[in-house]
């Protein structure tokens, strides 16, 4: 990361803490690594992002329905899904700094440096070799690759490495109050399996026909080896996943469909096309026949925000095998067409995005520093250029001064609008300071009540991005705000 970008990221992280978006978990005890809490404005922003995802999945697609499955699942679920045996990351320790790394991340970072030095071919060769070794689980040779390329620890600067070992990322706990009867269960590392085990119940009760999808938002837990970069990699996080069940043989066409839909969705949120890219996987997971990441250009480089995976019939078949319950779908439409194969286990195309990474992308994209004013009056301004539909607070109502009936008038406007929008009323400090504070949390409109308001029922409305002010009748406020903050502004760009 270039120094400027490092500084920028530091500023964004401290902005998030200072203005009530994200706090380190249990901070009075010095925090818990890779776990974070969302403050008042962060909680609103995250909820808006989740609602938007939920609505665009379930409302805009008549063949996608929702589900809210439990975090705890029968332990066999994770045996069937392959997580018990192979949800591992290769880890390696540096003996001098005692720091632990993911071996693949060390090599990927090295390849990125090679690429930056114009050695793209060498970078590609290293990555290909790494993928082959990971695929074949040749951990000894993976270590040799690290040593051969002289990849050193960023802290100690040495290549004094331990062996590479596999580390399972699932957290486990025990259910049952009597020690002898207690059995080991896992905290789900992905929400997807809750969808798979409910596939037939959902299909029958919601009377769905293949192709159809099931969407779910929920917590997931991974004991990440290296937790870095703020809320980018957490041990407790939230996923928004949609599994789309299709006829075997049609999965590639749906894979491409959902890839395009999801890229459009990110752009509709206001992410510039240049800051998004698609990264097809070279090394496929055991369950996939095609996979790609949608990446965003964070200040620390292009990194995954969402995965699109063609998961074949792997999961349903494995659950069928372990539960001994048939997972077949009887496709009446196919039988009507006289085709003999109307009874099958569907294939699955998955879209999987992290709510926290989406939040971080939104914050990085919105954080804006600019110089305003001329000559001596020049000053730096920081604001969050959030899409009004996502902004935690939609409008702030200020009386110009705390006397002469202005607070009462402002309060009556606040009381009238509060049922429609998340708005706040503020009367402390100078009006300039109050504007600045709203800029810092990304409030798109500030409404000021002054002496003229008492005469003719008009107020000034100030726009966050341009700082322009306009006089409008109080009676026009609901429409003026409503038009801008409506999620349909995003939906119509999908
Ligand atoms: P990575 O390669 O970054 O570890 P992954 O490929 O393991 O991610 P998936 O299993 O595809 O991730 O999970 C889907 C999405 O869930 C990711 O795109 C990301 O947005 C989110 N996600 C995964 N792991 C984490 C984590 N530790 N913290 C926050 N979000 C996560």
* Global pTM value: 0.91
List the one residue out of 203, 275, 214, 258 whose CA is nearest residue 240: 214
Residue 198 has a pLDDT of: 98
119 vs 229: CA distance, rounded Å: 26
Asked whether the beta carbons of 403 and 392 are under 8 A apart, the reply is: no
Rg of the chain on CA atoms, in Å: 26
Please state at what angle helix 355-366 crosses helix 40-58, rounded to 10 degrees. Answer: 110
In which residue are the tokens 């929008």 written? Answer: 421
84 vs 75: CA distance, rounded Å: 9
User: Closest ligand 1 atom, CA of 222?
Assistant: 27
3-state helix, strand, coil in the chain (%, to 5): 40, 25, 35
Rounded to 10 degrees, the C-alpha dihedral 92/95/98/100 comes to -10
Residue 141 has a pLDDT of: 95
Query: How many CA atoms are closer than 13 Å to the CA of 367, on its beta-carbon side?
Result: 20
Handedness of CA 257, 258, 262, 263 (dihedral sign): negative
113 vs 194: CA distance, rounded Å: 39
* Burial classification of residue 240, based on how many CB atoms lie within 10 Å of its CB (0-12 exposed, 13-18 middle, 19 or more buried): buried
DSSP lists the bridge partners of residue 381 as: 370
388-409 exposure pattern, b = at least 16 Cβ within 10 A, e = fewer: bbbbbbbbbbbbbeeeeebbeb
List the one residue out of 340, 355, 375, 271 whose CA is nearest residue 305: 355
CA of 463 to the centre of ligand 1 (A): 36
Residue 86 has a pLDDT of: 86
Secondary structure, 3-state, 384-407: ECCCCCCCCCCEEEEECCCCCCHH
In which residue are the tokens 């990440």 written? Answer: 224
CA of 448 to the centre of ligand 1 (A): 43
- Residue 222 Cβ contacting ligand 1 at under 6 Å: yes
* Burial classification of residue 437, based on how many CB atoms lie within 10 Å of its CB (0-12 exposed, 13-18 middle, 19 or more buried): middle
Asked whether the beta carbons of 447 and 435 are under 8 A apart, the reply is: no
- Residue 357 Cβ contacting ligand 1 at under 6 Å: yes
User: Which residue's CA is the nearest one to ligand 1's atom 31?
Assistant: 354
- Residue 304 Cβ contacting ligand 1 at under 6 Å: yes
- Residue 395 Cβ contacting ligand 1 at under 6 Å: no
DSSP string, 56-74: HHHTS-TTEEEE---SB--
CA of 186 to the centre of ligand 1 (A): 18
Neighbours of 370 (CB within 10 A): 11
User: Which residue's CA is the nearest one to ligand 1's atom 3?
Assistant: 304
Q: Which token pair is 428?
A: 């402390």
Name the residue of 87, 350, 354, 358 whose CB sits within 8 Å of the most ligand 1 atoms, as the mutation to test its pocket. 354
372 vs 466: CA distance, rounded Å: 10
pLDDT along the chain (494 residues), means of 10: 79 97 96 96 98 96 97 95 92 94 93 93 94 90 95 94 94 81 88 98 96 98 87 97 96 98 97 97 84 96 96 96 95 71 91 98 97 88 97 98 96 97 96 97 98 97 96 97 94 89
DSSP lists the bridge partners of residue 218 as: 239
Question: How do beta strands 276-280 and 236-246 pair?
Answer: unpaired
Residue 340 has a pLDDT of: 57
User: Closest ligand 1 atom, CA of 354?
Assistant: 20
Length of the chain (residues): 494
Strands (E), 300-394: 301-312, 329-330, 343-344, 347-354, 367-372, 379-384
Residue 226 has a pLDDT of: 79
């Amino acid at each position: 990361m270039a120094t400027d970008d490092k500084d920028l990221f530091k500023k964004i992280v401290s902005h998030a803490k200072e203005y009530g978006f994200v706090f380190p978990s249990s901070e009075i005890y010095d925090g818990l690594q890779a776990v974070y809490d969302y403050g008042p404005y962060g909680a609103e922003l995250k909820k808006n992002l989740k609602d938007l995802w939920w609505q665009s999945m379930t409302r805009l697609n008549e063949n996608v329905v929702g589900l809210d499955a439990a975090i705890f699942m029968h332990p066999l679920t994770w045996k069937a899904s392959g997580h018990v045996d192979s949800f591992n990351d290769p880890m390696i320790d540096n003996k001098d700094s005692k720091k632990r790394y993911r071996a693949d991340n060390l090599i990927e970072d090295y390849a990125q440096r090679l690429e930056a030095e114009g050695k793209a071919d060498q970078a590609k060769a290293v990555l290909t070799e790494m993928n082959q070794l990971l695929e074949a689980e040749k951990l000894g040779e993976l270590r040799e690759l690290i040593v051969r390329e002289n990849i050193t620890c960023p802290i100690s600067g040495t290549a004094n490495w331990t062996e590479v070992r596999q580390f399972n990322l699932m957290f486990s706990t025990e259910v049952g109050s009597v020690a002898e009867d207690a059995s080991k269960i896992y905290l789900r590392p992905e929400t997807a399996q809750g969808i798979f085990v409910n596939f037939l119940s959902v299909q029958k009760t919601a009377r769905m026909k293949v192709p159809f999808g099931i969407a779910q938002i929920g917590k997931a837990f991974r004991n990440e080896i290296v937790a870095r970069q703020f809320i980018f990699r957490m041990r407790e996080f939230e996923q928004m996943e949609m599994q789309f069940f299709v006829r075997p043989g049609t999965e590639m066409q749906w894979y491409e469909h959902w890839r395009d839909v999801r890229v459009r969705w990110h752009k509709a949120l206001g992410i510039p096309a240049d800051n998004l890219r698609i990264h097809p996987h070279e090394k496929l997971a055991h369950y996939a026949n095609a996979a790609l990441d949608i990446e965003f250009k964070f200040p620390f480089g292009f990194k995954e925000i969402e995965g699109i995976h063609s998961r074949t019939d792997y999961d349903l078949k494995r659950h069928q095998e372990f539960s001994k319950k048939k997972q077949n779908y009887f496709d009446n439409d196919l039988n009507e067409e006289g085709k003999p194969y109307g009874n099958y286990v569907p294939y699955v195309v998955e879209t999987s995005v992290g709510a926290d990474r989406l939040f971080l992308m939104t914050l990085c994209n919105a954080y804006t520093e600019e110089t305003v004013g001329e000559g001596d009056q020049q000053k730096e301004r920081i604001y969050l250029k959030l899409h009004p539909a996502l902004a935690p607070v939609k409008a702030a109502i200020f009386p110009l001064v705390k006397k002469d009936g202005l607070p009462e008038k402002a309060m009556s406007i606040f009381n009238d609008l509060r049922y429609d929008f998340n708005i706040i009323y503020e009367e402390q400090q100078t009006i300039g300071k109050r504007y600045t504070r709203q800029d810092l949390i990304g409030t798109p409109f500030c409404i000021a009540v002054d002496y003229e308001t008492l005469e003719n029922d008009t107020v000034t409305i100030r726009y966050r991005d341009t700082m322009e002010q306009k006089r409008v009748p109080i009676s026009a406020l609901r429409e003026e705000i409503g038009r801008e903050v409506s999620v349909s502004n995003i939906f119509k760009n999908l």
